[in-house]
Amino acid sequence: MLELRSLPDDCARRREGTACVGCGAREFSVCGSLPPDDLIRLDAMADRLSLKAGEPLVHEGDPATSVYNITGGSVRIYKLLPDGRRQITGFLFAGDFLGLTSGDTHAFSAEAIEDVTVCRFRRDEYRALTREQPLLEGALLDRAMHDLASAQNQMLLLGRKTARERLASFLLDMPDRDPARPSVDHVVHLPMTRSEIADYLGLTIETVSRELTKLKTAGIVTLLSLHSLRVDQPAVLKEMAEGL
């Protein structure tokens, strides 16, 4: 069961009289398409949720009665095979949106990787708002097209690329996926575990660890911690990702 936790006092003060204007994820979100007056209505519709690492946002098969806008942290999207194996199909970060499914139930599960904040909206109310606000509808369409392109790239990655090419592509893609934590001096933040990276790339954890070690030994990356690394030779990593 999701728990609604109160926002810190400074966050609450930023919301007073300003609707969602003070939200740090607004710049990267579909909400950023709305002018301040329309944000007031959106703000009134939202439930603010906070999740701890490992807590579920949605379960596969749950009724799809809500939509969600990630405002902080990161989330893993996955499906379980009948034998218990997990395939992570994506990672969501601040500004990402989920839940606008065409069916009546969720086709995936979503869990917090780290502490996460979310705005939850009733799906029928949100759809009604998009019909009245062409800018919001357009922003959602752009988001859907971006997600489709990402899915197509993921099919290419899993179907044709080698383990090294998959990992190199993933490391190059991560800074753009997490705009709230932009790369500084080519440092890549990796909130997910090696096991989660493996499940996303269709590899084993041993293969991911081995390929990271090879990149480190070759001087292409520097492992700063379990959750961050620095790309020292981005051009070389790009050539690897492209199979050159």
Query: Block means of pLDDT (10 residues each) for the chain, length 244 residues?
Result: 42 46 72 74 85 94 90 92 87 87 84 94 86 79 75 73 92 86 86 94 94 96 94 95 83
Whole-Å CA distances, 92 to 88, 149, 177, 210, 220: 11, 15, 8, 26, 26
Supply 9's token pair: 């006092």
Q: What is the Cα–Cα distance from 202 to 133, expressed in whole angstroms?
A: 40
Q: Containing domain of residue 172, as a range?
A: 162-241
- pLDDT given for residue 59 in this prediction: 92
Q: What is the Cα–Cα distance from 208 to 168, expressed in whole angstroms?
A: 11
Give the residues across from 92 on adjacent strands. Answer: 75
- pLDDT given for residue 24 in this prediction: 67
Q: What is the Cα–Cα distance from 159 to 161, expressed in whole angstroms?
A: 6
Domain end point (choices 136, 156, 176): 156
What is the number of structural domains in the chain? 2
- pLDDT given for residue 37 in this prediction: 72
Domain end point (choices 120, 136, 156): 156
CB 239 within 8 A of CB 232: no
- For residues 142 and 173, membership in a common domain is answered with no
Task: Tell me if 2 is assigned to some domain.
Answer: no
Kindly report the pTM of this predicted structure. 0.81
- For residues 119 and 185, membership in a common domain is answered with no
- pLDDT given for residue 22 in this prediction: 67
Burial zone of 209 (CB within 10 Å; 0-12 exposed, 13-18 middle, 19+ buried): middle
Provide the edge-to-edge strand list for the sheet that holds 56-58.
56-58, 109-112, 74-80, 86-93
Q: What is the Cα–Cα distance from 244 to 14, expressed in whole angstroms?
A: 49
- For residues 31 and 152, membership in a common domain is answered with yes
Task: Tell me if 112 is assigned to some domain.
Answer: yes
- For residues 151 and 168, membership in a common domain is answered with no
- For residues 84 and 141, membership in a common domain is answered with yes
Of 35, 48, 60, 31, the closest CA to residue 126 belongs to: 31
- pLDDT given for residue 103 in this prediction: 76
- pLDDT given for residue 222 in this prediction: 96
